[in-house]
Amino acid sequence: MNCPSCLSATTKEQNKKTSLGYRTFRCSICQHTFNERSGTPFNFLEYPTDIVLLVVLW
Ligand SMILES: [Zn+2]
């Protein structure tokens, strides 16, 4: 997964997950940590993306 901060592809998956269960990554270049939802329009939501999509569908 590419770093949303410096766009580097040299990122490493971390052992811990976010409170919503998303995988977290650390960039080897800028040491920025982010999760797999960082940089998407859904990151500010406090609900999992699939739940939000279900609600929108309804
Ligand atoms: Zn970076």
Question: Which tens digits make up the pLDDT trace of 9-54?
Answer: 999 999 999 888 999 999 999 999 999 877 677 666 767 778 878 8
- Other CB atoms closer than 10 Å to residue 13's CB: what's the count? 11
More confident residue, 2 or 46: 2
Residue 15 lies in a domain: yes
Residue 20 lies in a domain: yes
Residue 3 lies in a domain: no
Contacts of 41 (CB under 8 A, 6+ apart): none
Residue 34 lies in a domain: yes
Overall residue count recorded for the chain in this entry: 58
Residue 58 pLDDT > 70: yes
What is the total count of domains within the chain? 1
Question: According to the model, what pLDDT value does residue 26 have?
Answer: 95
Residue 4 lies in a domain: no
Residue 24 lies in a domain: yes
For residue 27, what are the domain limits? 11-57
| Residues at Cβ < 5 Å from ligand 1 ion | 3, 5-6, 8, 27, 29-30, 32
C-alpha of residue 48 to centroid of ligand 1, in Å: 24
Which of 6, 11, 54, 53 minimizes the C-alpha distance to 36?
Answer: 11
